[in-house]
Amino acid sequence: MVEVVSALVTFLVSLLVGGLAIYLAARIVSGEESFEFAVVTALVGALVWAVVNAFLRGVPLIGPFLPLLAWIWVIKWRYGEGWVDAGIIGFVAWVAAVLVLEVLPIAGVDVFGIPFV
């Protein structure tokens, strides 16, 4: 039971960190101000990342980048931005998430689901 609760807490913290990072990035790039929208985007992005990673990671040369491209596509689709703005949102969100990840272990919280971290 403790493992289930721990996994659930880790998932929720990861989702909120991803949502916060996307929220901050989207607010800077596109002016979108909905945290809930960002959290849903983080959830959909994580699911798409996982599916694409599971099926296409083994493609030579481009396989490791396809999940990242799929994650940026989710941001593009959800925010209605072009590829460049979606890429900027994704990059800024990733940087914000990495910064948060530097602080969370101090509190004893491990987070997963952030690309290349």
Per-residue burial over 2-41, b if 16 or more Cβ lie within 10 Å, else e, is eeeeeeeeeeebbbbbbbbbbbbbbbebbebeebebbbeb
Q: Which two tokens stand for residue 2?
A: 């403790």
More confident residue, 63 or 97: 63
Q: For residue range 76-109, what is the model confidence (pLDDT) as tens digits?
A: 999 999 999 999 999 888 888 778 777 777 777 6
Check residues 47 and 108 and name the one with the higher pLDDT: 47
The confidence band for 116, taking pLDDT boundaries of 50, 70 and 90, is low
Burial category of 114 from C-beta neighbours within 10 Å (exposed 0-12, middle 13-18, buried 19 and up): buried
pLDDT at 61: 87
Beta-carbon count within 10 A of 116 CB: 8
Structural contact between residues 111 and 24, judged by C-beta atoms closer than 8 angstroms: no
Determine the pLDDT at residue 51.
92
Backbone dihedral region for residue 60 (phi beyond 0: left; psi -120 to 50: alpha; all else: beta): beta
**Per-residue model confidence (pLDDT) at position 115:** 57
- Domain spans in the chain, listed from the N-terminal domain onward: 2-103
Two tokens at 28? 């800077």
Q: What is the tens place of the pLDDT at every residue in 16-39?
A: 888 998 999 999 998 888 999 999
Above 80 in pLDDT, residue 68? yes
